[in-house]
Structure 1
Amino acid sequence: MKRMRLTAWWPPIVAAVLFLILWQVSTVLFDIPKWMLPSPLEIANEAYISLPRIWMHTAATIRMTILGFIAGATAGITLAFLLHFFPFIRATFYPFLIMSQNIPIIALAPLLIIWFGLGLLPKMIMIVIVGFFPITLSTLNGFAQTDAGMYSYMQMSGATKKQLFWKLELPHAMPFLFSGLKISATYSVMAAFIAEWLGGNTGIGAYMIIAKSAFRTDRVFIGVFVIVCLSMALFACVVLLERWLTRWKRSK
């Protein structure tokens, strides 16, 4: 098992190392100005020097992302349950649910800032708007693809709607739910970054705005690296949670 994991991981690692080496050599060979394209070593050196400041902004982004992701996941799961249990509500509000995702978050951001200011609330709303939709849609798809034969069999056996939901529909929808959570995890980091980019004094988005204004391309790259790492970390957390909650499937 360990050998298989190493076999799966070493090609992308080698590719990344070769890319960094090529990047480093190119910046030296072609004498590219630092403000245009700093070398990987220059970026790493700046990250080491500015580590306390970077961590301050990163911690702010982590805090907002986690709060927004939890709120978005709660809203997405709750809405999926409501739309599943009450067909009338689904028929009424499902078109508006789809429509809500056709409005760019950048277009909504100025309105949210006007209404709620530059504090945490408008940023949280942005994350929730972006994050709840994939969870709701994936969970509803999971409910819709429940085994019809098993559903009819349990109904004929006298199972109640509550038993049908907890013992058949929800377990069947769990993989779909976690697929939505994985998508939402990456979207939440992106939404948090955009929210900080549009307004605020702390967070990686604000850090990158300041870096861009000062033509500190090395710091912009640091911000990009942090965002990628946060997205991967939150995605990994969802994967671990899925493995823990669905371990009964692997034990069969």
Structure 2
Amino acid sequence: MPALVVVAALLVVWQVYVDVAGVRPQILPSPGRVVSQGWSQRDVIAGHAWSTLKVTLLGFALSLVVAWILAVLVDFSPWLRRALVPLFVVSQTLPIIAIAPLMIIWFGFGILPKLLVIALVTFFPMALGLIEGFGSADRDAGRLLRSMGASNTQVFRYVRLPSAMPRFFTSLRIGITYAVVGAVFSEYVGATSGLGIYMSQQKNSFRTDLVLAAVVVTAVISVALFLLTYLAERLVAPWVRADAS
């Protein structure tokens, strides 16, 4: 509620300023104009939003699978931890604004380069969250299971995996918001549809109101996916919320 109050106050100030100062819509449209013009283009924006959402989910799914596989391998192998974790960190130093055009050169204008950009943006927080989550497991619980004859796989399943869930879902929430940003950015460098390409087209036409309308839709998608992670957490690891409360 406090956040909604702040947003409402900012919108009122924005609307009053535009009305009083007489700012041209090409420079700063009023919130009312953004809503009305966006609604008039709702079918077009919805089509582009669906393209962005589809790419976001596919790219994020690819990143999620790779993060899980590598994090589990790293947890079982100290040598792989020393070999791969530094590379994970280095992957975050790569300038996406420079890498994305190269993806187009290497893989063409299909969906693959966009998926790779999203995976590159979102992989690190999820992989690191899982690795640190596995490492935070109760060592005494692991020793107790081993004293009862449990294998490394059983210790991982019953101790290390549940212990990693809180950090994993925290990193999942970070990653899913990055995924939407990565999808929009990947569309700027090579796409035929999507909110990124729509915003680029409207910017070139000096339709600032429609650019902001697309920004609002992008934010709504990000918030919706962010909230869905809490639903997934309740379904997959209900004990996490129970422990927090």
> Which among 153, 160, 178 is matched to residue 151 of structure 2?
160
C-alpha deviation, 1:94, in angstroms: 2.1
- Letter in structure 1 aligned against 2:48: H
C-alpha deviation, 1:90, in angstroms: 2.0
3-state SS, counterpart of residue 77 of structure 1: helix
- Residues 1:56 and 2:47 are matched in the alignment: yes
3-state SS, counterpart of residue 87 of structure 2: helix
Partner of 2:197: 206
- Letter in structure 2 aligned against 1:119: G
Distance in 2, matches of 1:244 and 1:220, equals 37
Partner of 1:76: 67
Alignment of 1:1-252 (within 5 A): 10-249=1-240
C-alpha deviation, 1:113, in angstroms: 0.5
C-alpha deviation, 1:250, in angstroms: 5.5
From the superposition, tell whether residues 91 and 250 of structure 1 become closer, same or farther in structure 2 (CA, over 3 Å): closer
3-state SS, counterpart of residue 38 of structure 1: coil
C-alpha deviation, 1:101, in angstroms: 1.0
Distance in 2, matches of 1:238 and 1:250, equals 12
Q: Percent of pairs identical after alignment?
A: 37
Distance in 1, matches of 2:33 and 2:5, equals 21
C-alpha deviation, 1:202, in angstroms: 0.4
C-alpha deviation, 1:139, in angstroms: 0.6
8 Å Cα contact 2:125-2:171 kept in structure 1? yes
Distance in 1, matches of 2:76 and 2:103, equals 31
Deviations 1:153-193 (A, max 9, x none): 22222221121011100001111111111111011101000
- Structure 2-normalised TM-score? 0.95
Deviations 1:117-158 (A, max 9, x none): 111110001011111111110111011111122222222222
8 Å Cα contact 2:169-2:229 kept in structure 1? yes
8 Å Cα contact 2:11-2:31 kept in structure 1? yes
Distance in 1, matches of 2:216 and 2:28, equals 15
Distance in 2, matches of 1:186 and 1:250, equals 21
- Letter in structure 1 aligned against 2:31: P
How big is the alpha-carbon RMSD for the aligned residues of Structure 1 and Structure 2?
Answer: 1.3
- Structure 1-normalised TM-score? 0.93
From the superposition, tell whether residues 200 and 129 of structure 1 become closer, same or farther in structure 2 (CA, over 3 Å): same
